[in-house]
Chains A and B, each alone.
Chain A
Amino acid sequence: MSEIYVITSGKGGVGKTTTTANLGMGLAMRGKKVVLVDTDTGLRNLDLLLGLENRIMYDLIDVTEGRVPYKKALVRHKKYENLFLLPTSQVKDKNAVNPEQLVKLCEELRQEFDYILIDCPAGIEQGFKTAIAAADVAIVVTMPEISAVRDADKIIGELGRADKENIKLIVNRIRPQMVQSGDMLDMDDINDILSLECIGQVPDDEMVVTSTNRGEPCVALSGSQAGQAYRNIVGRILGEPIPFMTFQKEGILARLKRIFSL
């Protein structure tokens, strides 16, 4: 039984591609056969995050336009051999693929893969509509910041209009210190505002930057907090009841202590 996930956000720069790379690799580490489809045509980056940028021969557009079968365009990961990338074109634009083509391709991919993860472009235009067309589940990535949450709400509305009912939320780049001092929205705030089921909160972690530099997603690094958060999300996707990491809000006593500098 294979499942198609789209990773989307509305706003750019909240971590869609990072999330796609980490969840994909995390699922592959758990023995699932996974393909990551980059639909951010013209601004492709998923290849870089996975360290596969030098091994691309064909791309998504070659496949949807019928020049090559999809198997020829797939790039296999060096270390995790059941992880594959279907890269997109860096020279074409978002209109090069339409929803029907992507749906057809995903139905073919279903025959072979356990999980198909689609990395969606930012925005709510055609590229977004194409990316979500085939998805069974949408993962909305947001950050604890008003503009990102507002855009997430807009995207959730658009997903509803496209009859995508299975929507999950990931809150990315939480800074526990700021949450503790009451200066950052926490997961519960965002859950409440968006009335959506959250499947993970990922702390802001310098190792996300260093692992991206190396093209090795942090989900594989045992010492990374963000990596642990991604491993937890992977577990939840596989149906395991994993408790959320807790970043406690400051209680009244702690706050009074701080006010009086005790």
Chain B
Amino acid sequence: MMEALMKIFGKKEPSGKVARNRLKVVLVHDRINISPEIMENMRNDIVKVISKYVDIDMNAMEMSLANDDDSVALVANIPVSRMKHDKGGLK
């Protein structure tokens, strides 16, 4: 309601609120400062685990950290080319 009223009267959002929102976004970035090297190691480990169960297309694989408002998610897109039908991982 406040927003609507402020629009009607041509008032800008209070700058304190702007500061708060900008800080929340920038701190999410600051806090997940992962080096490319660690990212690469993590990627290789994930591939190793998944490869025990399915064949994957390494070249088409995508992995990144994504921001969602105030949380961070590890998003991976890993195309599966074939299931392994042996008792994967146990041998």
Contacts and interface: CB of A to CB of B under 8 A. Distances in A.
Interface of A: 144-146, 149-150, 153-154, 157, 178-179, 181-186, 189, 193, 252, 255-256, 259
Given A252-B2, A259-B9, A153 B16 contact: no
Interface of B: 2, 5, 9, 11, 14-17, 19-20, 22-24, 26-27, 30-31
Given A252-B2, A259-B9, A259-B11, A150 B16 contact: no
A182 B2 contact: no
Contacts of B5: 256, 259
A153 B11 CA distance: 31
Given A189-B20, A193-B20, A259-B9, A153 B14 contact: no
A157 B20 contact: no
* Chain B contact residues: helix, strand, loop or mixed: helix
A184 B19 CA distance: 8
Contacts of B30: 150, 153-154
B16 A146 contact: no
Contacts of B22: 146
A183 B26 contact: no
Contacts of A145: 19
Given A150-B26, A193-B27, A252-B2, A185 B20 contact: yes
8 A-B pairs closest in CB distance: A182-B14, A183-B15, A182-B16, A146-B19, A189-B20, A184-B16, A153-B27, A183-B16
A256 B4 CA distance: 13
7 contacts: A145-B19, A153-B27, A178-B16, A182-B15, A182-B16, A193-B20, A259-B9
A5 to B, nearest CB: 25
Contact of B24 (A182, A193, A252): A193
Contacts of A179: 16
Contacts of A178: 16
Contacts of A189: 16, 20
Contacts of B2: 252, 255
A193 B23 contact: yes
Contacts of B19: 145-146, 184-185
Contacts of B20: 185, 189, 193
Contacts of B16: 144, 178-179, 182-186, 189
Contact of B17 (A182, A255, A259): A182
Contacts of B27: 150, 153, 193
B7 to A, nearest CB: 12
A145 B15 CA distance: 11
A149 B20 CA distance: 10
Contacts of A256: 5
B31 A157 contact: yes
Contacts of A149: 23
A255 B9 CA distance: 12
A183 B19 CA distance: 9
A151 B14 CA distance: 23
B21 to A, nearest CB: 10
A89 to B, nearest CB: 34
B28 to A, nearest CB: 10
A48 to B, nearest CB: 32
Contacts of B26: 146, 150
